[in-house]
Structure 1
Amino acid sequence: MSFELQISRDRQGVLRAYANAPFEVLGGYLEQDIQASVACAEEVLTICSFIVTVGGKWTGTGNAHTVTISATGVRIENEFVEDASGICEMSLDDFRAAVEAWQRAVSAPW
């Protein structure tokens, strides 16, 4: 399935991320864990680059999600949802593209 992500600001100016099924959990990860932090987005992108260059796997838990990054893909788990609807698996390239898009949106003036 093709990955699609829409990022916009709501009426209060808060960034929102919407991903198509089965990637919806990604939107929550961007909003709730990376939030409006350029530095956090940069840290995640640095981890992705390290994984691509060196290999291995990295797992971290933020405010609401646990993300596992490896060269074979990324798994995002919503810590507050106990069934499969709280899990998103995607390619590392798609994940990096989503975090880069979020970082650009956070950096953009509104």
Structure 2
Amino acid sequence: MPRPAYPTTETSVTGLSDELMTVVRAYAKDCCQPMRAIYDDAITAMVNRIAGGEKVFFPASIPGQGSRGRHIRLTPGVAAAMAKTCEANRVHQSVFFLRAMRDYLSSKGIDVPD
């Protein structure tokens, strides 16, 4: 298996639909960025919003609703910041990641599937 050019941490998330992942892939391709960079940007934006005092509602995903577990790669510092923020706010990382991705893509003017 090829090694990534940057240090990465791999984690697993659930609750991401195939449709959402298709949108993320297309956006990453349009930006000529690896998906890791898009994930990092989305997570960092959410961490910064929460650190700035914004109250964020994290809706729970519904198990078995057309989603499956996925392995994602993150920059180690971003993964650590997400873990710390999730622990402090008592939210599961998969739920945090899903909200971060949806908000990030929406902020770029992209329609995000449910």
Q: Same fold (TM over 0.5)?
A: no
| Higher RCO (CA < 8 A, seq sep 6+) | 2
TM-score by length of 1: 0.30
TM-score by length of 2: 0.30
Select the structure that is richer in strand. 1
Select the structure that is richer in helix. 2
